[in-house]
Chains A and B, each alone.
Chain A
Amino acid sequence: MKTKTIYLFLLAGILLISVTSCDWFKSDGGENTDPDETIGKIDNYWKVSSSGYSNATLTIVDNDDGNVVANIAYDGDNYEVEGKITDKGIYDYVYSNGDHSKPFTLVKFDASVGDKWEFKVGNQTVVREVVKKSETDDTPYGFYYIKTIDVKETVPEGIEVKNGESQVRQIVWKFNHKFGFISATVTTVNGKIVTVSQYATNANE
């Protein structure tokens, strides 16, 4: 009896230590927001190009517990965008106009094909759906091939973004868990298709 009791106390102690020392109680329900553990480190950058447009560079300039501020340098101007980056995924605050209590999932690195995330505004719904998850290195990237998770974002007509009606009807995003953003194929409301591709990043360093 005595031995059993000691054993139970020991077991409880071990459980207590493991629960309080593990990352389960870090912010965001199991997702690690430590910038050093994610691709959201300050000064991480992604350089992108698109046929017919100037190149652009997105650089993380601030990271507060996963909430990142990125600067986009494009065509002589600078723009800001906010989001959230954890070790599990990327979220943005575009549709919530910067309300950090309403992050919208852009990608989760452990998602499966068919996983869907929705953001509702009144009676309109923006849908992001995982349409492909590579099982082999099948996407060209520089001199080699990588795996990607492809997310199709469908934007309903009339939805407002940054105080103006969205000019985008659909985006097919490609992400990689090491390199982050790989490309985005954007279809505008006029049917024009533009592909923005990343050609350089330090996110994997």
Chain B
Amino acid sequence: MIRKTACLLFLTVILCTGCKRVLNREEAERSLKVLNSNLVNFISLSSEKPEIQGLYFLLDEPASPLTLTQNRNFFKRGTSSDSPAKLKGIYQWYPGKKLFEKKDTSKQLVLLFPLEEKPGDSARFVLSEFESQDCKSRPEFPVTIKADMFINGLKKLTIDHQAEVQDNLPLHVSGLVAGDGYKLIYHLNRTRQEESGTIDLDLILKANGFELCSFGANAKIGYSRQGYYFRYISFQLKIFEHEITGELDYSKIDPTASDYIDLFNRYSRIGIRETAGPEVGNIILGETGNGELLDYFVKFANGDKVLLSSYIPMLKKILNYKY
């Protein structure tokens, strides 16, 4: 009798304290809030770094020679993308006039500007090597970038990017963006066998020796005169304490079908889980706005569906990427 009771007790304890495979809705919502909070903190801390503020300014300001405008060329139309050598020199930003004025000649492109967030800080961006090639994508694809960002005379950021273009599309890409205590490393490789091929992409962000996030994607693609389109894609995103994995079989999803939502959900699997831990939920497509609009939902273990943007607005932007 005692033995039986002991066994029963033992089994009960094991069941209650054993690994949870799937979180219930309440636990899952807490987990998602943690993920969102980590993302927000990460973006907030990153955007406070002066070198990131400086880079953002140069890429966003329409008057900047580096702005990623709608033009096909990396450098603004009118500043002679055919002859990047003409852009070499030392330029000073004048906030009142909202333009860069050339101050001196140089063998490099040097941009001097104050930081908007901290006007007392001075930034110096030095582009020592740059080369781009015509590509089906916009703008022209950079094949060499060597650049440094200095804040108040101290080097804060290094960019080292190399790529090879073939058939007007990137074939191999590798790069490093390194700052004080952190670095981002990325690689892309593309293959082609007649009208089919693959794309493999990986990206790692490390800070102070720890891996903050990593992303890996493997895709099967088809080639067309316009470039390429996705047939199948699988990806894994590890970010802080969570992991998002997905598989989408685009070849079976007809974008013009009346049952598009069913097709999408049938031929895709996107799951969120805690790293090496329990499942949080799955991401599915559903109707919203009285059936007028489509949006992504998190489906919990109990079948409840809640808009993904309620918990993690940023993930929605990533999932909107079109192929």
Interface residues of A (CB under 8 A from B): 69, 80, 82, 93-105, 117-125, 158-160, 162-164, 167
Determine if B224 and A164 form an interchain contact, defined as CB atoms under 8 angstroms apart: no
Q: Chain B contacts of A103 at CB under 8 A?
A: 256
The minimal Cβ–Cβ distance linking A142 to chain B, given in whole angstroms, is 32
Query: A70 CA to B222 CA in the complex, in Å?
Result: 20
Which residues of B are at the interface with A, using a C-beta cutoff of 8 A? 70, 136-138, 222-229, 251, 254-256, 260, 264, 285, 293-296, 316, 319-323
Give chain A nearest CB distance to B290 CB in angstroms: 15
With A97-B229, A102-B256, A117-B256 as contacts: A123 and B296 at CB distance below 8 Å: yes
Query: Least Cβ distance of B284 to chain A in Å?
Result: 11
Q: From the candidates A97, A104, A121, A124, name the one contacting B224 in the complex (CB within 8 A).
A: A97
> Can you show 23 pairs from A to B with CB atoms below 8 A apart?
A82-B226, A95-B255, A96-B229, A97-B226, A97-B228, A98-B228, A99-B229, A104-B256, A105-B256, A119-B256, A120-B260, A121-B255, A121-B322, A122-B294, A122-B319, A123-B296, A123-B316, A124-B322, A125-B294, A160-B321, A162-B226, A164-B137, A167-B70
Q: What is the distance, in angstroms, from A98's C-beta to the closest C-beta of chain B?
A: 2
Bound Cα distance A96, B256 (Å): 10
Q: Within 8 Å CB of A159, what residues of B?
A: 322
Question: Is B225 in contact with A163, judged by CB distance below 8 angstroms?
Answer: no
Chain A residues with Cβ below 8 Å from B137 are: 163-164
Task: Give Cα distance in the complex from A117 to B254, angstroms.
Answer: 13
DSSP majority for the B interface?
Answer: mixed
Checking A93, A97, A162 against B323 with a beta-carbon cut-off of 8 angstroms, the contacting residue is: A97
A97 to B227: give the CA distance in the assembly, Å.
Answer: 7
Indicate if the CB atoms of B320 and A158 lie closer than 8 Å.
yes
Q: Of all chain B residues, which has the CB nearest A124?
A: B320
Cβ-closest chain B residue relative to A126: B255
Residues of A within 8 A of B251 (CB): 101
CB distance from A146 to the nearest CB of B (A): 29
Give 6 A-B pairs besides A93-B224, A96-B255 with Cβ atoms closer than 8 angstroms.
A93-B226, A98-B224, A98-B227, A99-B222, A122-B320, A163-B137
Most chain B C-beta atoms within 10 Å of own C-beta, residue among A95, A97, A163: A97
Most buried by B among A100, A101, A118, A163: A163
Q: Which of A69, A94, A96, A124 contacts B294 (CB 8 A)?
A: A124
Q: Which residues of B contact A118 (CB under 8 A)?
A: 256, 260
Q: Using A97-B228, A97-B323, A123-B320 as known contacts, say yes or no to A164 and B254 having CB atoms under 8 A apart.
A: no
Shortest Cβ distance from residue A126 to the other chain B in the assembled complex, whole angstroms: 9
- For A80, list chain B residues within 8 Å (CB): 225-226
B138 and A160 within 8 A (CB): no
The answer on a CB contact under 8 Å between B294 and A163 is: no
- Specify which chain A residues have a CB less than 8 angstroms from the CB of B320 in the assembled complex: 122-124, 158
Contact with B322, one of A82, A100, A122, A125 (Cβ below 8 angstroms): A122
Q: Distance (Å) between the CB of B30 and the closest chain A CB?
A: 25
The interface residues of chain B lying within 8 Å CB-to-CB of A104 are 255-256
Closest CB-CB distance, A188 to chain B, in whole Å? 10
B294 to chain A: closest residue by CB: A123
Q: Which of B70, B223, B294, B323 contacts A120 (CB 8 A)?
A: B294
Q: Is the CB of B224 within 8 A of A163?
A: no
Is B227 a contact partner of A162 (Cβ separation < 8 A)? yes
| Cα-based distance from A103 to B229 in the complex (angstroms) | 13
Contact B256 A82 (CB under 8 A): no
A162's nearest neighbour on chain B, judged by CB, is B226
Least distance between A153 CB and chain B CB atoms (Å): 14
Complexed CA–CA distance, A40 and B256 (Å)? 23
- Report B114 CB to chain A, min CB distance, Å: 29
Residue in contact with B225 in the complex, picked from A69, A102, A117, CB distance below 8 Å: A69
A103–B223 Cα distance when bound, in Å, is 16
**Nearest 4 interchain pairs by C-beta:** A98-B224, A160-B322, A98-B226, A97-B229
Chain B residues with CB under 8 Å of A121's CB are 255, 322-323
B105 to chain A, nearest CB (A): 32
Q: In the complex, A164 Cα to B260 Cα: how many Å? A: 24
A102 touches B323 (CB 8 A): no
> Which residues of B are found within 8 Å of A105, using beta-carbon distances?
256
Q: How far is the CA of A97 from the CA of B137 in the complex (A)?
A: 12
A101 nearest in chain B by CB position: B251
CA distance A146 to B98 in the complex (A): 51
Closest to B223 in A: A98
* Closest-CB distance, B85 to chain A (whole angstroms): 24
CA of A104 to CA of B229, assembled, Å: 15
